[in-house]
Structure 1
Amino acid sequence: MDSILKAGVAGAGVFGGYHANKYVEAEGAELTAIYDLDWERAEERAKGHGARGFDDFAAFLEEIDVLTIATPATTHAELASQAIAAGKHVLVEKPIAMTTPEADALIDQAAEKGVFIQVGHQERYVAAAFGLFDREVPQSVRSRRMNRYSPRAGDVSVVLDLMIHDLDLLAQLTGRAEAKVLSIEAKKEKGIHADYVDVTLDVGGVEAQLIASRLETDPTRDLKLVYPDGQIHLDFLDRSVANTTPEPVAADFNSADLPLALKDPLAFGTQSFLAAVRSGVSPVVPGQAGRRALAMALTIEEAIGG
């Protein structure tokens, strides 16, 4: 596929704006359309890029070849299904869907239509850049993803909003698709969904503690992996690496030639998606990966109790 790919973004919110910018910056793509239920918001976002705003999803789909879905999580499956039915390649933000049957239906539908579905697990690219997936399986994992409150994703719990990124990493690190909940603490403060979750999982013999919060004053984002010969600790906010294993990590936050996967994971994911569409080679984070992370997340949701 040599022609310019016409790209669209469903969702004119803050994160939709980020995705729109990445299409504008990407070679071989032209941002032509933005969809939102609020036409004025879609048009305002679109005009800044010389695109068109739509509040009719079917009309929006007629203008594009590929799209990113950055709408509320509860709408992902329905919009993705409509886009796939129209023969469009889809990059859908996490979670891929709200249930595993919905995810399975999207994966099957994309295969039948001969289009790709990629899931927006951008943290995958960061871990890969550090070479974490090339090492042996860690003995234990600890991940903390703790942010200030935002009403942006209030339609789902912090598990489906934030922790799902770390569940995708955990699945990749262990090569496992199932997790058993060993202990869990959850808090609901801003609405009907959990805003803080501290869960310890057994994933194929690997003990993993994952903490996710959207109630913090001082954000934290780090990852600690323990191996028989040492530890690796990545602090994504301080942009520092502590490694006591004999094997060096594959990247450095302070490198003068910082790879795009570390410098701008969202841009890297967009470019990878476009490359997959052009080459016909499956995306690096296909629908199956999104389904796996979703299944783990729903196990935790069940343990929380809703």
Structure 2
Amino acid sequence: MAESLRGGVIGAGVFGGYHARQYARLPGVVLSAVLDVDGDRAAAVAIPLGGRAFTDLAAFLDAVDVVTVASPASLHAEHALAALAVGKPVYIEKPIATSVADGERVRAAAAARGLVVACGHQERVQSRAMGLLDIPEPPLRLEALRHGPPSDRSRDVSAILDLMIHDIDLALAICAADPVTAEGEGRLSEDGVWDIARAEVGFEDGFTAIFDVSRQAPARKRTMRIVYPSGDVEIDFVARTLRNTTPFVLNADYAETPDGQDPLGASVAGFLAAVRGETARPIVTAEEAIRALDLALAVEQALADQG
């Protein structure tokens, strides 16, 4: 590969724009191309950053070395598999796919070619900045609330795959045990997707995780409380505050760290470092993303079984 990687972004929506700007500003990479079914929208993102706009996938893939998949979630696996088939490492916005089978196809395709796959569970970056992932004590309980106002974004998937999956990934990251039960209740929107949901997941070591999400809330609210035998950790992801009563040292000023200030940038930089062989793995691997997806789909099934 060339010394400066040519970055490409599939999808010129809000998150596609965020990723394009990361490729334009990070060292060792340039924003080369943006692909979207709407050529004008692709151009609006790509051209101000020095890239080119594409509507043809094959031509786009010829113009890049690494690919971010920021298209609608229902297309994540299709676009990732196309990139991997021609030897391009991929960073996939969450969820990695909308079925475990498709996620496994992505993982297997990458493994067969020795290519890096990263997934955009960016709360991992902030948790790392806090020191949360280094607490040596097993947690007893997690309570996560993630509410936001109505939006046209991500209407092809439920609030579980859009919002709850962030907190599911964190629960899986801090608990070594496997989930064994999932119960939930929720409310479908007029277009037939789960927009409001509450789920309780039990793990084999007794750890319990409570997830509460809504895409119909009056205001944005994202909080988490983790109970340990020695104390509690409370996080407000909107206010970016942390309260810790455990004996373990956490960084209450995590929001002032580079990772805390720009978790997306840190996540993309981690992907690029893995592609260059500077690190052994990206921040969130395909295997981890599939595990989060599997539990998210189990929650969806529990909601479907509620009535």
Q: TM-score range by the shorter chain?
A: over 0.9
Instruction: Give the letter aligned to residue 234 of structure 1.
Output: I
TM-score by length of 2: 0.95
Contact 1:179 1:299 in 2 (8 A): no
Aligned partners of 2:106 and 2:194: how far apart in 1? 27
Match of 2:228 in 1: 227
Match of 1:70 in 2: 70
Q: How big is the shift at 1:80?
A: 0.3
Match of 2:268 in 1: 270
Mapping of 1:24-173 within 5 angstroms?
A: 24-135=24-135, 136-173=137-174
Q: 1:268 is paired with a residue of what secondary structure?
A: helix
Kindly tell me the number of residue pairs found equivalent between the two proteins: 302
Q: 1:279 is paired with a residue of what secondary structure?
A: coil
Aligned partners of 1:29 and 1:296: how far apart in 2? 34
Aligned partners of 1:261 and 1:176: how far apart in 2? 27
Instruction: Give the letter aligned to residue 124 of structure 1.
Output: R
Mapping of 1:193-212 within 5 angstroms?
A: 193-204=193-204, 205-212=206-213
Contact 2:124 2:170 in 1 (8 A): yes
82-91 or 260-269, which deviates more? 260-269
Q: How big is the shift at 1:282?
A: 2.1
Instruction: Give the letter aligned to residue 165 of structure 2.
Output: I
**Percent identical residues:** 39
Aligned partners of 2:210 and 2:196: how far apart in 1? 13
Match of 1:261 in 2: 259
Mapping of 1:276-287 within 5 angstroms?
A: 276-279=274-277, 281-287=280-286
Aligned partners of 1:271 and 1:159: how far apart in 2? 27
The CA RMSD measured in Å over matched residues stands at 1.4
TM-score by length of 1: 0.95
Aligned partners of 2:257 and 2:114: how far apart in 1? 31
21-30 or 238-247, which deviates more? 238-247
Per the alignment, do residues 248 and 78 of structure 1 end up closer, same or farther by CA in structure 2, a change over 3 Å counting?
A: same
Match of 2:248 in 1: 247
Aligned partners of 1:303 and 1:122: how far apart in 2? 26
Structure 2 residue 288 is the aligned partner of structure 1 residue 293: no
What do residues 48-101 of structure 1 show as CA deviations (whole Å, max 9, x unaligned)? 111110111111000000011001000000110000001001000111111111
Per the alignment, do residues 197 and 179 of structure 1 end up closer, same or farther by CA in structure 2, a change over 3 Å counting?
A: farther
Q: 1:195 is paired with a residue of what secondary structure?
A: strand
Contact 2:125 2:283 in 1 (8 A): no
Contact 2:243 2:252 in 1 (8 A): no
Contact 2:131 2:249 in 1 (8 A): no
Q: 2:223 is paired with a residue of what secondary structure?
A: strand
Q: How big is the shift at 1:232?
A: 0.7
Contact 2:227 2:233 in 1 (8 A): yes
Q: How big is the shift at 1:2?
A: 6.5
Instruction: Give the letter aligned to residue 12 of structure 2.
Output: A
Instruction: Give the letter aligned to residue 146 of structure 2.
Output: R
Q: How big is the shift at 1:106?
A: 0.9
Aligned partners of 1:142 and 1:109: how far apart in 2? 36
Aligned partners of 1:250 and 1:160: how far apart in 2? 29
Contact 1:200 1:207 in 2 (8 A): yes
Aligned partners of 1:82 and 1:179: how far apart in 2? 34
